[in-house]
A and B are shown apart, each in its own frame.
Chain A
Amino acid sequence: DVKVTQSSRYLVKRTGEKVFLECVQDMDHENMFWYRQDPGLGLRLIYFSYDVKMKEKGDIPEGYSVSREKKERFSLILESASTNQTSMYLCATREWGRAGTDTQYFGPGTRLTVL
């Protein structure tokens, strides 16, 4: 079974703090993703990475950066947290290649509150 773990289930930070959200996968997948999930807006893609040290902006990258130094780990960084970044953050990996295989696997999520 694919396992995607996120460093925290719940996190509370103050405005202006630097925040690190960590995601680790154990299946050697090349592609990894960070989404945020908000009521009424569904899931929105922040950043994704298609290999080590490779990244691409998603639909809402402003205020975020990412780091992928090792294949299994993809970090989301909030350089200076703001209250409008209070949200649920979901990490995902993508399995693809074999015929008919194209699936994203999600971690349990980190609910971040910025005060």
Chain B
Amino acid sequence: GNSVTQMEGPVTLSEEAFLTINCTYTATGYPSLFWYVQYPGEGLQLLLKATKADDKGSNKGFEATYRKETTSFHLEKGSVQVSDSAVYFCALGGRNNRLAFGKGNQVVVIP
């Protein structure tokens, strides 16, 4: 079935550093791919998405490209801020309207 794998463990980095969070997927067909963000004490918010191969989703300085050849959708930001501290979830749209979520990555940005 459809599944998403995110890199293990929290990510701690300094302000203005470059952020990468890896996401790979297993799926049949051509699913949509998503990144959601969860700020402390809140629900999830859609950060960006891509609906077909080679699409690039972008929002708030974050980017991710739908790579069918490597089955990946890695999230990147060139210069993080303290306000980017949150949990980030990669997700894959599948059958019956379901989303398959990765386990999430806690990102902590230190001033």
Within B46-87, the residues touching A (CB, 8 Å) are: 46, 49, 51
Q: A43, A48, A58: which has the most chain B beta carbons within 10 Å?
A: A43
Cα separation A108 to B45 with both chains bound (whole Å): 10
Give the contact stretch, choosing among B11-19, B20-28, B90-98: B90-98
Cα separation A109 to B42 with both chains bound (whole Å): 7
Check B104–A42 contact: CB distance below 8 A. yes
Dominant secondary structure at the A interface = strand
Give min CB distance, A89 to chain B, whole Å.
10
Cα separation A92 to B99 with both chains bound (whole Å): 11
Which single member of B46, B89, B104 contacts A103 (CB below 8 Å)? B46
Q: Does B44 contact A (CB under 8 A)?
A: yes
Check A107–B98 contact: CB distance below 8 A. no
Which single member of B43, B46, B51 contacts A108 (CB below 8 Å)? B43
Which single member of B45, B89, B93, B101 contacts A102 (CB below 8 Å)? B93
Find the A residue at minimum CB distance from B100: A45
Cα separation A94 to B104 with both chains bound (whole Å): 20
Given contacts A43-B44, A106-B43, 7 further A-B contacts (CB under 8 A): A42-B103, A43-B101, A43-B104, A90-B44, A96-B97, A103-B34, A106-B45
Residues of A at the B interface (CB closer than 8 Å) are 4, 31, 40-43, 45, 48, 50, 56, 58, 90, 92, 94, 96, 100, 102-109
A sample of 13 cross-chain residue pairs with beta-carbon separation below 8 angstroms, ordered by A number, consists of A43-B89, A43-B101, A50-B96, A90-B44, A102-B51, A102-B93, A104-B46, A106-B43, A106-B44, A106-B45, A108-B42, A108-B43, A109-B42
